[in-house]
Structure 1
Amino acid sequence: MKRSSIQRTVKSLLNMRDRIRFDLPFQRNSVWKKDRRSYLIDSVIRDKYIPNILVWNNSDGYVWVVDGKQRWESIFMFHDGDYRLSKGTADFQNEVIANKNHEELSDDAKFEFLTYNFTVTEFSECTVEEVEEMFYRVNQAEPLTYTEKTRVKLSPDVCEVVQELSSHLFFEKIAFTKTDRNRYVDEKLIWQFLAYISGSDIDYSGATLNAFISNLDEVPVAITEQVEHRLEFLDAAFRKWNSKLRKVLKKVHVDTLFQIVEDAEKCAITKERFGEWAASFLIDRYTVYSPYGQLCQKGAASKQFILKQKNCMLEDLKSFEGECRNE
């Protein structure tokens, strides 16, 4: 691995913007809030110290950002007018810059912004695994999840399938937190779905799910279609739920709901009826002291525990609907 440092002005970054890539597989989503982005721009205008940006040169013509995505994104977004400086930003050289976007700054302030020098440390002659390790080392205060670590190992085809499935409309109905989305919890659910449909004998702890993902070279079309079918069923089942009801549709319930879709269809339970039962089970009759509520509070990920959740939910569904026609 070779390492060298260079200086890049904001103006030069804007000129080479098309070559800058923020999408290394292990890279986190955009997580900075506007106040934090504003503080960075304020530091740029005042020529304050900002830590080095780490990039990877793998000789493909692109500049792959390893550490510093939030900082450079903030630069580009401010230049594009996507946000304003915070209302509490102090004056700069007798100019009021608070609540201003880039275009509204004076020529002097713009000059300071465009001529700020970032120190860029470039790494070359190294593998993506070495780059990932470097990313982990500089971010060890907030360790990567198993899902984040494993994304780097995916083939492009598998990655595309997972991203397409996680963009399904049903995922807009799930009550993900911002942290969930930033840590790819939606993709983790897809992995759980794929593992379940594939009949893989694993639990859902990080290590075993990671092993399943790492060994997946492709996703068979038949598996993808089955996952899509169940997502369509769930999307239709919860379509009538308003935003208030959807706050109850948390990730802890989703995988089990996904699993029992097959049982619901075998019992000829319609999507609408499934949604009505879910409202009764998860809202009207749910408490932390109920058998299912107790299971949710424990949050275990073993096969036996997940099976208990499934059986508890399935038993209630059949009781709600009446005896299965085929029994």
Structure 2
Amino acid sequence: MKRSSIQRTTKSLLNMRERIRFDLPFQRNSVWKNDRRSYLVDSVIRDCYIPNILVWDNGDGYIWVIDGRQRWESIFFFADGNYKLSKGTADFNGESIAGKRYDELSSEAQFEFLTYNFTMTEFRECSFEEVEEMFYRVNQSVPLTSTEKTRVKVGPAVREMVQELGQHLFFEKIAFTKADRNRYVDEQLIWQFIASASKQDIDFGGASLNQFISNLDEVPAPVTELVEHKIDFMDAAFRNWDQAKRKVLKKVHVGSLFQVVDYALEHGWSEDQFEAWTESFLIDRYSVDSPYGQICQKGATSKGFVAKRLDLMLKDMNQFPLQLELPHSPMDHDA
């Protein structure tokens, strides 16, 4: 492994932006909030110290960021005008810069921003595994979630399949928070779908799920097809739900809904019938004090509590009075 350090101005980074890559598998998403980004930009304008950015040169012409994504993205987003400096930002050389976007700054403040020198430490002649190890060493003070750690261990074929499933429109309907997506909770939910479709008798979270998904070399075609079919079914069922109704499509409920779709399919339910039951169960009759509601407050992914939630759902589905959808005949029309 070889390394060297060079300095790059903000302006030069903006000019080479197309070559900078933030998508190494272990990288976090954009998790900084605007107030923290603002503080970094303020540090740039005032020429304060900012730790080195670590990058990897693997010979493909790109600059792969190992550590420093949040810092560089903060710079790029500010230059794009995506956020303002926070209201608490102190004046700079007599200029009030609080609440301003980049193009609202004076030429002096813009000059300081563009000419700041970032120190970039570049690593060469090293393997992906060495780069990954370096990332974890550097980020020991910023704990990664178990999901973030597991993403690195997932095989390429499984990772590609999970990412493709994650593009399904159904995942736009799920009530993920921004923090959920930044922490790859959407991908973890797909891992649960795969485990369920594979008939795995495990906890759907923590070490059990992580071990299962990281040990997979590929997802068998029948499992992939079943997962896709059930996602399609749920997507069609909730196609007309507005934002208010979609708020109930939280991870804890969606994971269970995915499993009880089996009952719906086995008993010939249509997507509309499944939607009617879901609305009745999770909206009209739901209460945090109900047996199902109480279980949802506990051990959301533990095997025992998952089984109890499913049992309550299946019993309710069995008793639910379906509105039968009978085919129309010519005799039904007025003469």
TM-score normalised over the length of structure 2: 0.88
Within a 5 Å distance, the mapping from 1:1-327 to structure 2 comes to: 1-321=1-321
The secondary structure found in structure 1 opposite 2:54 is strand
> Is the deviation greater in 295-304 or in 21-30?
295-304
- Give me the whole-angstrom Cα distance separating, in 1, the residues matched to 2:300 and 2:110: 53
- Give me the whole-angstrom Cα distance separating, in 1, the residues matched to 2:208 and 2:88: 48
- Give me the whole-angstrom Cα distance separating, in 2, the residues matched to 1:171 and 1:206: 22
The alpha carbon displacement at 1:132 in A equals 2.4
The answer to whether the Cα contact below 8 Å between 1:269 and 1:321 also exists between their aligned partners in 2 is no
- Give me the whole-angstrom Cα distance separating, in 2, the residues matched to 1:12 and 1:114: 8
- Give me the whole-angstrom Cα distance separating, in 1, the residues matched to 2:242 and 2:44: 44
The answer to whether the Cα contact below 8 Å between 1:19 and 1:62 also exists between their aligned partners in 2 is yes
The alpha carbon displacement at 1:300 in A equals 4.9
The alpha carbon displacement at 1:319 in A equals 0.8
The secondary structure found in structure 2 opposite 1:56 is strand
The secondary structure found in structure 2 opposite 1:66 is strand
The answer to whether the Cα contact below 8 Å between 1:234 and 1:271 also exists between their aligned partners in 2 is yes
> Is the deviation greater in 24-33 or in 8-17?
8-17
- Percent sequence identity over matched residues? 70
2:332 aligns to what? none
- Give me the whole-angstrom Cα distance separating, in 1, the residues matched to 2:48 and 2:265: 62
- Give me the whole-angstrom Cα distance separating, in 2, the residues matched to 1:208 and 1:129: 24
The alpha carbon displacement at 1:278 in A equals 1.3
What amino acid maps onto 2:235 in structure 1? D
What amino acid maps onto 2:180 in structure 1? D
The alpha carbon displacement at 1:72 in A equals 0.3
What amino acid maps onto 2:236 in structure 1? A
What are the Cα deviations for residues 46-86 of structure 1, in whole angstroms up to 9, with x where unaligned?
11111221222323322211211111011112222222333
The alpha carbon displacement at 1:179 in A equals 1.8
The alpha carbon displacement at 1:240 in A equals 2.8
What are the Cα deviations for residues 254-292 of structure 1, in whole angstroms up to 9, with x where unaligned?
111001112112212221221221122112222233222
The answer to whether the Cα contact below 8 Å between 2:22 and 2:64 also exists between their aligned partners in 1 is yes
The answer to whether the Cα contact below 8 Å between 2:154 and 2:215 also exists between their aligned partners in 1 is no
- Give me the whole-angstrom Cα distance separating, in 1, the residues matched to 2:140 and 2:288: 35
What are the Cα deviations for residues 230-265 of structure 1, in whole angstroms up to 9, with x where unaligned?
112112222232222222221111111001112112
> Is the deviation greater in 190-199 or in 209-218?
209-218
- Give me the whole-angstrom Cα distance separating, in 2, the residues matched to 1:211 and 1:106: 54
The answer to whether the Cα contact below 8 Å between 2:20 and 2:64 also exists between their aligned partners in 1 is yes
> Is the deviation greater in 194-203 or in 72-81?
194-203
The number of aligned residues is 323
- Give me the whole-angstrom Cα distance separating, in 2, the residues matched to 1:142 and 1:119: 21
- Give me the whole-angstrom Cα distance separating, in 2, the residues matched to 1:135 and 1:126: 13
- Give me the whole-angstrom Cα distance separating, in 2, the residues matched to 1:31 and 1:282: 31
The secondary structure found in structure 2 opposite 1:298 is coil
What are the Cα deviations for residues 82-102 of structure 1, in whole angstroms up to 9, with x where unaligned?
223334433322333333332
What amino acid maps onto 1:45 in structure 2? I
TM-score normalised over the length of structure 1: 0.90
2:328 aligns to what? none
- Give me the whole-angstrom Cα distance separating, in 2, the residues matched to 1:248 and 1:300: 15
The alpha carbon displacement at 1:184 in A equals 0.5
What are the Cα deviations for residues 141-190 of structure 1, in whole angstroms up to 9, with x where unaligned?
44222221122233443322211211222212222122211111110011
- Listed as ranges, the gaps of 5+ residues in structure 2 are 325-335
- Listed as ranges, the gaps of 5+ residues in structure 1 are none
The alpha carbon displacement at 1:316 in A equals 0.7
- Give me the whole-angstrom Cα distance separating, in 2, the residues matched to 1:5 and 1:168: 42
Pick closer, same or farther for the CA change 1:303–1:89 going to 2, 3 Å. Answer: closer
